[in-house]
Homo-oligomer: A and B are copies of this chain.
Amino acid sequence: MEMILELEIPASPEYIAIARLVVSSIVSSRRNLPDDRIDDLKLAVSEACTNAIEAYGPNLAEDGAGERVRILVQDDDEKLEVDVADSGPGFDPDDLPTHPPVTDPERLNFERGLGIPLIRTLVDDVQFVSSPGGTSVRMTVYGEPLELHPPEEFEPEGFGPGDFGPEGTDVEGSG
């Protein structure tokens, strides 16, 4: 798998919009995915970032300066993976409370606990790697890489006559 991009942000709510922006723009430029799949991934990443930030606890505003969330994007020929990692206390993803059914009036008492179910539904595959040292949420979407233009060459040779020589050649320069 090829590492595409790494983004590190402070564990603070105001930065999640940037994480979404980065992920959706990298994905739309790299993968041949329909818009709604990109929206799905964007939401899943946002949920994972929210949990990562909340993992640092309620005192964040005071002492959260050094606490960070790291977003890693990788891909290969068949899939793209986004990994959201924090250094919070960790949790057991297999031992989460469940909600009453939506038809139960009690359902209204639960404003939270929707993030992980959403992630599980929105991406093709998700893996939670969690320990007391931190959590990593690895989300995978399958789909083809975008047919990129053949790698463009540029000319790092600096000052030169350029590609518009008088010969009228219509191929790219010497780069």
Contact = CB atoms under 8 A, between A and B. Distances in A.
Interface in A1-38: 2-10, 12-15, 17-18, 21-22, 25-26, 29
Nearest to A88: B156
B13 A4 contact: no
A134 to B, nearest CB: 16
Report copies per complex: 2
A18 B27 CA distance: 11
A2 B58 contact: no
Given A18-B22, A18-B25, A58-B156, A162 B109 contact: yes
Interface of A: 2-10, 12-15, 17-18, 21-22, 25-26, 29, 54-55, 57-58, 61, 65, 97, 109-113, 148, 151-162, 175
